[in-house]
Structure 1
Amino acid sequence: MYEIDVSLPDSVHVIAGTDDVARPAAPSGTGRWTVSGVQVTARQDAGGSLRLRVAAPGPQGVSKVALRWRHHPGGRPPALVLGDTWERSYGDLQWRGIQPERPLPWYWLGTDPATGTTAGLGVRTRAGALCSWTVDEDGTTLWLDVRSGGLPVLPGERELAAATVVGVTADGSVTPYTALQPLCSAMSPDPLLPEQPVVGCNNWYYAYGRDFGPDAVLRDADTIAEYAGDHPVRPFCVVDDGWTEGGGSAPGGPWDTGLPGVFDDMAGLAAGMAERGARPGVWFRPLLSRIETKGMRTDVGRPGRIPLDPSLDDTLTTVAADVARFRAWGFELIKHDFSTYDVFGRFHPDTPPEMAGPGWRLADRTRTTAEVLVALYRAIAEAAGDALVIGCNTVGHLAAGLVQVQRTGDDTSGRHWERTRRMGINTLGFRLAQHNRFYALDADCVPCTPATEWALNRQFLDLVARSGTALFVSVDPAARTAQTDADLTAAVRLALDGGAPGGVEPLDWLSTTAPRRWRSAGEDLTYSWSQPWGAWPLLPG
């Protein structure tokens, strides 16, 4: 198992301006191609990775670049292919046979169970382009979306550092999961990781932002502290959506006060949580405002729900000030959410071919969307100081190195087990190799509620605790029993220890989207995720 030297592509095509025609670029020297006033360069560095840069000084700009390799890094076409997703996954990660048109954001891994060979390619984190791959029988193509919003980027004389390509190959002595780990390490050379295991509670999946106040938050802090006992690593207690006006529907800012008459003293609340033995955490939605403000977009939105443009300095100043205020209030964990939706106007289930629709614009056309998002995540990270940052509905491949924890899947549920099965188990199994290589992975909360079956939730609880990934629980007081408390106490303390030795590894992930068989601490475990009727054919809300 080893990293490979990534060769120069065999051909390059460019979509310049808005004509949506991929024009072949002519070689103009080793590792250089030119067409329509756009120049693409590729240079191998000392470690064998391939650095890609794009220059487009003309007035039409550039939209996309396609780089084609007419071979596979493993020497032959893979039998099964795995890719990532643009942002959160939506229960849709899986190994499939070759599907030439299937977009594979950020990286791909191919394997052949008959021979045991595994190989893949990816781009380094915090790329300057939104990158995806396609794989077919004859080779592989890297697609660089360098647009600004939905329009061609206009970088002027600035050369874009679009992406750095890395790759791995492995023989049959290792599993595909084991091969994915060094690919993730190669893509993410500088992760920002938490100093201790991340464990805590979050009130969303029983409160859903409704009818709760400081007393309920402090009760949750007591509960998670009780589960942790005298463990030296202290758990977090996160106040999710619902602490401001318009709560329960993911409202926007301003984030300078809590809900009047209820959350009037956020600093006092944080202090009360800490006094009970829990580290205070808070949720917010940085790119939405309830009022007109500097940095707002004027092309979308409606009164009371106005998106902000992250390409504007005014927006970054506002967001940084919000984060600094939370830190001054005493919050030690800051969870920022919905920024991908507020930039692109949609979520990205089922992996669409591109994140942005055509036509819409960012105010700053000189930078790519990827560059703008990285700048947003960096502004939040810098303002957070020593607070822990969790990205939710953020582009994980661009946030790696700027968040300590990443919510890698869509919401689990305190109302329907099926959502937890589909979302939580899928993202844990298929993105687990990113854990402690990109960030600490968060597969979302384990609910303990009257509406969901504890016999199923406790299995998910056990798996997450063993994995060493972030464990958050959402415990409805009405669902607490001697059994649930015993299960939660054992899992919380195992997670605070860092999980089972060696974590966990999915064993049957080549053939299912919800792995049942896992290896943990030298033993094989089998979980049953099915309700009496199986799985819902359609996902309940």
Structure 2
Amino acid sequence: MPHLPDSVHVMTDDTRPHTATPTTEGVWSVRGTRITADRTPEGLRLRARAGAEGLSRIVLRWRLDTPEDARILGDAWERGYGDLQWRTLQPDRALPWYALITGGAFGGPTTGWGVRTRPGALCSWTVDESGIALWADVRSGSLPVLPGEREVDVATVVTAAGPTPFAAHEALCTAMSPDPLPAVGPLVGCNNWYYAYGRDFGPDAVLRDARTVVEYADGHPVRPYCVIDDGWTEGGGSAPGGPWDTGLPGVFDDMADLAARIAETGARPGLWFRPLLSRTETAAVRPGLLRDSGFPLDPSLDVALETVAEDVTRFRNWGYGLIKHDFSTYDVFGRFASHSPAELALPGWSLSDRSRTSAEILVRLYGTIAEAAGDAVVIGCNTVGHLSAGLVRVQRCGDDTSGRSWERTRRMGVNTLAFRLAQHDRFFTLDADCVPCTPRTDWRLNRRFLDLVARSGTALFVSVDPAARTDRTDADLAAAVRLALDGGTPGGVEPLDRLSTTAPRRWRSGAETLVHDWAEPWGAVPLAV
């Protein structure tokens, strides 16, 4: 457990921090704000009472000698974007949620600092040669939170150590996540996004995909899923918003019947939706704001949460036992968090309820979805994993792979699996995204990623274009699906060269060491993909 911080600083707006004065042990105050730190069995619990002007950020600093040759790993705000990496010291680099330090002498060969899941703040860390600091963003959007007399439960700080970087990463994730939802067993299925991309498909194509993945499972006692991604409503292919009460007219006219027909194939039905966007203006949306030709909902409003809960309940009543919700971080903040910016919120806005922090509002949204879903499996995509842990069973932890460009799968999929694997079964079931099988991508490379995901025991979804099916691809896919349905290789996998690359090539799998060359003939592509 960490000791009390050596100094505490407060930001009431976006100007420089103000140093707080200790009043009693574990209590600091400045500008009408009081910060309390209590040592508890769970960790160092941080609470805050704001003054009349509100509160933006709290900075806690610990003195810590960090060697110049140390390597540092942080997480990402939401999905990874191929940018997770052990790196040299960069004092101004924001490390969302946790920081792992290897090469230092504090607490063993590798040490980790983090906050427990579902905090009341968007938390990040900075590390330099002389110390480590926690930056707790308690704003509502980009404006100071105004909680009144309410005390904000900011975060609980924990530490962990391990003999290797991977062991320390696993230990820290265990310490940060005390209450993950029970695993649902092997999670395997098909998803049509990476060959259909939301266009020109209907129930017959969905049922064909369901029969294909059932064929690959070959009678396995664990039934695979068939997930209908974007494209089942009006505006499909562009991630449209709701209403989510009906399918695309003339194509998906009876979603309950389609769920029943998927189940008849032997697969379990799943459905995608975008909960915080509406094609129509309602009382639940943020006034005067357009996003992707739709109206974003305001999740700080009860009416918005009621709308989301009604949608999830409807999907469950239709017969969908897996519900994938997407785009909520983007629809709240208006940006994707690639390269882990120091702050998620762009300037000049807040949600309607400024008495609660952005983190508190997101946790409430995820809890609403979880409650409405009941016993259905919930997958979060473009959700904040540190806030959804314990409220989703599965988390899409990286940006999209691709049925059009192998480079995206290499960059996003391999990086996600390598650097978020320690979260698997500690936060939730990890989903590194689909393995595509399409005419436009090299199966020689895709099958390596397929095999690695299947061995890992993480979620495996395949996106199989019928035009790409051959005896070879079918044999590879069937073997991987059955291995994944078995739970993967005993002991899973571990990236061995994680300290030196963003896309590890050497992996431990049981007693084996696998070496995968991810490069196309020209190597990796340095361009946007």
| Same fold (TM > 0.5) | yes
- 1:79 equivalent to 2:75? Answer no
Check whether the contact 1:390–1:405 (CA below 8 A) recurs between aligned residues.
Answer: yes
- 1:122 equivalent to 2:114? Answer yes
C-alpha distance in 2 between matches for 1:113 and 1:24: 28
In the alignment, which residue of structure 2 is the partner of 1:227? Answer: 216
C-alpha distance in 2 between matches for 1:313 and 1:528: 50
In the alignment, which residue of structure 1 is the partner of 2:96? Answer: 105
For residues 506-517 of structure 1, the aligned pairs below 5 Å read 506-517=495-506
Whichever residue aligns with residue 36 of structure 2, its letter is: T
For residues 230-309 of structure 1, the aligned pairs below 5 Å read 230-301=219-290, 304-309=293-298
The one of 389, 395, 399 aligned to 1:400: 389
Check whether the contact 1:202–1:473 (CA below 8 A) recurs between aligned residues.
Answer: yes
For residues 192-203 of structure 1, the aligned pairs below 5 Å read 192-203=181-192
C-alpha distance in 2 between matches for 1:54 and 1:357: 24
For residues 140-539 of structure 1, the aligned pairs below 5 Å read 140-170=132-162, 174-301=163-290, 304-539=293-528
- Where 2:414 maps in the other structure, the secondary structure is helix
In the alignment, which residue of structure 1 is the partner of 2:61? Answer: 68
The one of 34, 51, 55 aligned to 2:49: 55
C-alpha distance in 2 between matches for 1:303 and 1:220: 29
- 1:8 equivalent to 2:4? Answer yes
Pairwise CA distance, 1:78: 6.4
Pairwise CA distance, 1:193: 3.3
The one of 11, 16, 21 aligned to 1:21: 16
Pairwise CA distance, 1:295: 1.1
Pairwise CA distance, 1:114: 10
- The C-alpha deviation readout for 1:249-274, integer Å capped at 9, x for no partner, is 00000000000000000000000000
Whichever residue aligns with residue 155 of structure 1, its letter is: P
Whichever residue aligns with residue 47 of structure 2, its letter is: R
C-alpha distance in 1 between matches for 2:7 and 2:164: 32
C-alpha distance in 2 between matches for 1:166 and 1:355: 23
C-alpha distance in 1 between matches for 2:68 and 2:321: 48
Whichever residue aligns with residue 89 of structure 2, its letter is: I
C-alpha distance in 2 between matches for 1:31 and 1:381: 36
Whichever residue aligns with residue 51 of structure 1, its letter is: R
The one of 26, 32, 55 aligned to 1:37: 32
Change beyond 3 A, Cα 1:519–1:503: same
Structure 2 alignment gaps of length 5 or more: none
C-alpha distance in 2 between matches for 1:114 and 1:199: 42
- Where 1:28 maps in the other structure, the secondary structure is strand
- The C-alpha deviation readout for 1:305-326, integer Å capped at 9, x for no partner, is 1000000000000000000000
Q: What is the percent sequence identity of the aligned residues?
A: 70
C-alpha distance in 2 between matches for 1:96 and 1:111: 10
C-alpha distance in 2 between matches for 1:283 and 1:34: 47
C-alpha distance in 2 between matches for 1:60 and 1:231: 60
C-alpha distance in 2 between matches for 1:212 and 1:368: 41
Structure 1 alignment gaps of length 5 or more: none
In the alignment, which residue of structure 2 is the partner of 1:94? Answer: 85
- The C-alpha deviation readout for 1:454-476, integer Å capped at 9, x for no partner, is 00000000000000000000000
C-alpha distance in 2 between matches for 1:29 and 1:482: 72
C-alpha distance in 1 between matches for 2:182 and 2:392: 8
Check whether the contact 1:193–1:440 (CA below 8 A) recurs between aligned residues.
Answer: no
Whichever residue aligns with residue 60 of structure 2, its letter is: L
Q: List structure 1 segments (4+ residues) > 2 angstroms apart after TM superposition.
A: 75-78, 113-116
- Where 2:24 maps in the other structure, the secondary structure is coil
Change beyond 3 A, Cα 1:31–1:78: farther
C-alpha distance in 2 between matches for 1:313 and 1:356: 22
C-alpha distance in 1 between matches for 2:440 and 2:14: 52
Check whether the contact 1:283–1:334 (CA below 8 A) recurs between aligned residues.
Answer: yes
C-alpha distance in 1 between matches for 2:169 and 2:203: 44
C-alpha distance in 2 between matches for 1:193 and 1:429: 23
Check whether the contact 2:161–2:171 (CA below 8 A) recurs between aligned residues.
Answer: no
C-alpha distance in 2 between matches for 1:193 and 1:212: 35
Pairwise CA distance, 1:113: 8.7
- Where 1:524 maps in the other structure, the secondary structure is strand
Whichever residue aligns with residue 37 of structure 1, its letter is: G
Check whether the contact 1:291–1:304 (CA below 8 A) recurs between aligned residues.
Answer: no
Whichever residue aligns with residue 54 of structure 2, its letter is: G
Pairwise CA distance, 1:216: 0.2
- The C-alpha deviation readout for 1:277-319, integer Å capped at 9, x for no partner, is 0000000000000001121001421694100000000000000
Check whether the contact 2:35–2:49 (CA below 8 A) recurs between aligned residues.
Answer: yes
Check whether the contact 2:97–2:123 (CA below 8 A) recurs between aligned residues.
Answer: yes
Pairwise CA distance, 1:229: 1.1
Check whether the contact 1:291–1:303 (CA below 8 A) recurs between aligned residues.
Answer: no
C-alpha distance in 2 between matches for 1:53 and 1:240: 41
Pairwise CA distance, 1:76: 5.7
In the alignment, which residue of structure 2 is the partner of 1:134? Answer: 126
- Where 2:270 maps in the other structure, the secondary structure is strand
Pairwise CA distance, 1:117: 0.8
Check whether the contact 2:435–2:450 (CA below 8 A) recurs between aligned residues.
Answer: yes
- Where 1:121 maps in the other structure, the secondary structure is strand
- The C-alpha deviation readout for 1:96-118, integer Å capped at 9, x for no partner, is 11100000000010101999711
Pairwise CA distance, 1:168: 1.1
Check whether the contact 1:81–1:95 (CA below 8 A) recurs between aligned residues.
Answer: yes
C-alpha distance in 2 between matches for 1:207 and 1:84: 31
